[in-house]
Structure 1
Amino acid sequence: MRHRIAEFYSGIGGMHYAWLEAGLSGEVVASFDINTFANEVNRFNFADATIHHRSIESQSLKFYQKLNADVYLMSPPCQPYTRIGLQRGSDDIRAKSFLYLLDVIFKLGEHRPRYLLIENVVGFENSDTHARTLECLGTCAYDIEEFIINPNQLGVPNSRSRYYLLPLGQTPAESSSETHTCPAPQTLEQYLGPTLTDQALLTDYRVPTDLLSKRLKVMDVVHFDSTGSCCFTKGYSHYAEGTGSILHMGYKPLGDQSPALNVTYDYRYFTEYEIAQLMGFPLTKFRFPDTITRKQRYRLLGNSLNVTVVAHLLRHLIGDS
């Protein structure tokens, strides 16, 4: 079956890339996002994409009926549900478009999409929006399965736990404790390759010495042989703590000695393409246009999703149907 896919909150095309990685048949017939920079990146990589640069709730029910998509992929705004936010849930204006989509799905009746995939931050599952989602989809006769998955469960050396909702009849075999074997963890060196030791990158992405002197103790330092790194957020390189790891450009010392206490070592930020690769974006196909600044690239990646995890779920959501 050749599917018609609607990609909501499309950002830089993470769901689109996940669909391609999953090897499924179909066409992304519409993408929706109001972020100008994200749409520029998405259009740069998918020249034929139909991108709607307007709010989801501004489109009528008739529009979605004519769209006739049988797959809805969505990563709604996470700010109403983040642990460091106000957690206003459905009362947050940024939840409005997703609630509208739920209403659309309900009103589409027998023409509603056959498949749904929803991604959001951990915390969404405790919100009133989550309760409303389950109520709506249950009324629409979807069988719901929910997961919290971290990319490092798939061997990816990066932590980015996220909530996922799928309408499945049964739990995928990979999530069963009886049949599931976690892939061997990869190191950053295996994952990122020769760029790790590129001296030009060290010069261009070096962490300033004055920042190291003041904030190194709160920064997460990783090495070539590390099998993990912290979640990269939109504030990466702008804030020192809790926004992502920095790379120590040397060898991991033995014993209790830690380079995190010695600023004479060389440290650099991960490049935007290294982060993209950790998040599963295929660098043979994905690029940023030159008009997008480094700061904007970090912000866009921080707001995106892990392509590898979503592709993994799509294969078990849709398979060969």
Structure 2
Amino acid sequence: MARPLRVLELYSGIGGMHCGLTESGVAAEVVAAVDVNTIANEVYKYNFPYTPLWPKSIEGLSLKELDALSFDMILMSPPCQPFTRIGLQGDISDPRTKSFLYVLDVLPRLKKQPAYILLENVKGFETSEAREALIRTLEKGGYAYQEFLLSPTCLGIPNSRLRYFLIAKLQKEPFAFPTTSKILEEFPSQCPGSKRIIHCSESNPQARVEQKYSSCPLSGTDCDPEKTVLYKLETAVELQRKQTQDNDSSVRMLQDFLEGNVEEMSQYFLPPKSLLRYALILDIVKPTCRRSTCFTKGYGHYVEGTGSVLQTATDVEIDTVYKSLDLLTEEEKLAKLSSLKMRYFTPREISNLHGFPATFGFPEEVTKKQRYRLLGNSLNVHIVSCLISTLLQSP
């Protein structure tokens, strides 16, 4: 019987890669997890108490220490801030890229080259100089590789979280599918465990317009984008895109991922100040919807652009609440908006959408704000699992 794969988990965070490895069913052992985030490390230790966790910087790993681990696979999710589309895009000049460049420098100098590599990052990494440095290192080291841009919607999960992934293996062991220099936006058809093989790309939302009313509710029938009058700060094309997503029966409903202890949800309801200030930019979904926007690290603390909010009053139509909203007094506005009973998704619900198992949890001392921040920096476990299975599959 072959020995378990020895896996090095860099930038381990709260353990999303580790969960994906476990879900894949591959016989493997994480011989070391490395991260400098003290709160993330507490969560990691809570869930993986027997895994050696090194609370140190990547640059602090000596070549001798790495050689001693004799690992077969690297799983890593380097800092994404240097590559985000809304950030400064400092790329390799950003100090946060230093550790990743160190990994690329030390990789060819290892006594034993790891046979497998999986990397995750934000969309935008694929056009970076850091990515070019990665590809040069892989090609010089004799690796075959495949790049992807994938979102959980590919697997029927109602959450948009488009991310860059790369899988690589030493060329002596070919992939089970034909590789291409093109960045794939779908899983290979041979992907083990993939229930849905569909196109994964997500078009960027068009710029919002200052129109505020609509005769077409989110839950209504098809609308003509040229004729629709909007009640929120979104284009008619955006509205129609949301309706199309909600009508895609191959994606599960959000209700499958929600917690049942409704009586404990009061702390998650949007406060009056947020309702009044951000009413026109909220992305509102119902339990029966088949979509939600990407949850970021600011979710639960900031409102704009950080993730969807859940309308729990399912018997209230959103268009009746928003119609002529700006003609009302502040008190009347608040009464109408409150009737929707909108709340944030809980950390457990976001964990469910990310694919973390039911056994995954947080230490009690980790605050709600910290949980949102950690989850916003994490990844989708199911995608990682599928990619690991694809990486290790024989032709």
For 1:57, the equivalent position in structure 2 comes to: 59
Q: CA RMSD in A?
A: 2.2
3-state DSSP of counterpart to 1:57: helix
In the alignment, structure 1 residue 292 sits paired with structure 2 residue 355: no
Q: Secondary structure at the match of 2:393?
A: coil
The one-character-per-residue Cα deviations of 1:8-63 (angstroms, maximum 9, x if unpaired) are 00000111100000001010010000000000000011111211111111111111
Q: Please tell me the residue identity of whatever aligns with 1:175.
A: F
**Deviations, residues 220-262 of structure 1 (Å, cap 9, x unaligned):** 1110111011111100011111101110002266695566964
Give per-residue Cα distances to partners, 1:194-241, cap 9 Å, x unaligned: 35xx1321x121100221011021111110111011111100011111
Residue aligned with 2:144, SS: coil
Count of residues in Structure 1 that have an aligned counterpart in Structure 2: 316
- Counterpart of 1:200 (choices 260, 264, 272) is 264
Describe the superposition over 1:105-160 as per-residue Cα deviations: whole angstroms up to 9, x where unpaired: 11115x11000000000000000000010001100010110000000111001110
Structure 1 residue 178, shift from structure 2 partner: 10
Taking structure 1 as reference, are residues 255 and 171 closer, same or farther at Cα in structure 2, changes over 3 Å only?
Answer: farther
One-letter amino acid of the counterpart of residue 270, structure 1: F
Tell me which amino acid in the other structure corresponds to 2:250.
A
Q: 1:296 to 1:178 in 2, by over 3 A?
A: closer
Shift, 1:170, TM fit: 4.2
Contact map agreement 2:294 2:306 (CA 8 A) in 1: yes
2:103 maps to what in 1?
101
The alpha-carbon distance between structure 1 residues 252 and 29, as it changes in their structure 2 partners (threshold 3 A), is: farther
Q: SS state of the match for residue 372, structure 2?
A: helix
Kindly report which structure 2 residues correspond to 1:92-241, keeping only aligned pairs within 5 A, or say none: 92-108=94-110, 111-167=112-168, 169-170=174-175, 172=177, 175-176=187-188, 181-182=197-198, 184-192=250-258, 194-195=260-261, 198-201=262-265, 203-241=266-304
Deviation at 1:83, TM superposition (A): 0.6
Is the contact between residue 259 and residue 349 of structure 2 (CA under 8 Å) also seen in structure 1?
Answer: no
* Structure 1 residue aligned with 2:357: 282
TM-score, L = length of structure 2: 0.76
1:272 has 2:347 as partner = yes
**8 Å Cα contact 1:253/1:259 also seen in 2:** no
State the percentage of identical aligned residues: 44
Give per-residue Cα distances to partners, 1:141-196, cap 9 Å, x unaligned.
Answer: 1011000000011100111000001115447597347997449200001233635x
Distance 1:286 1:138, change over 3 A: same
Task: Name 1:26's counterpart in structure 2.
Answer: 28
**C-alpha distance in 1, partners of 2:82/2:315?**
40
- Cα displacement (A) at 1:319: 3.4
Check the 8 A contact 2:284/2:309 in 1, yes or no: yes
Partner AA of 1:287 in structure 2: G
**Pairwise mapping of residues 1-80 of structure 1 onto structure 2 (< 5 A)?**
1=2, 2-80=4-82
Distance 2:258 2:177 in 1: 29
Larger radius of gyration between Structure 1 and Structure 2: 2
The counterpart of 1:244, out of the listed 277, 291, 307, is 307
Unaligned runs of 5+ in 1: none
For residues 266 and 159 of structure 1, do their structure 2 counterparts lie closer, same or farther at Cα, with a shift above 3 Å needed? same
Q: Name the CA shift for 1:274/1:238 in 2 (closer, same or farther; >3 Å).
A: same
> Contact 2:78–2:100 (CA<8 Å) still a contact in 1?
yes
TM-score calculated relative to the size of structure 1: 0.92
SS of equivalent residue, structure 1 residue 80: helix
Residues 318 and 340, structure 2, Cα contact 8 Å, conserved in 1:
no
Instruction: Give structure 2 stretches of 5+ with no counterpart.
Output: 179-185, 199-248, 326-335
- What SS is found at the alignment partner of 1:136? helix
| Matched residue type, 2:383 | V
SS in 2 for 1:143: strand
Deviates more, 1:55-64 or 1:289-298: 55-64
Contact 1:223 1:252 in 2 (8 A): no
Q: Is the 8 A contact 1:24 1:320 kept in 2?
A: no
Corresponding residue to 1:310 among 384, 387, 395: 384
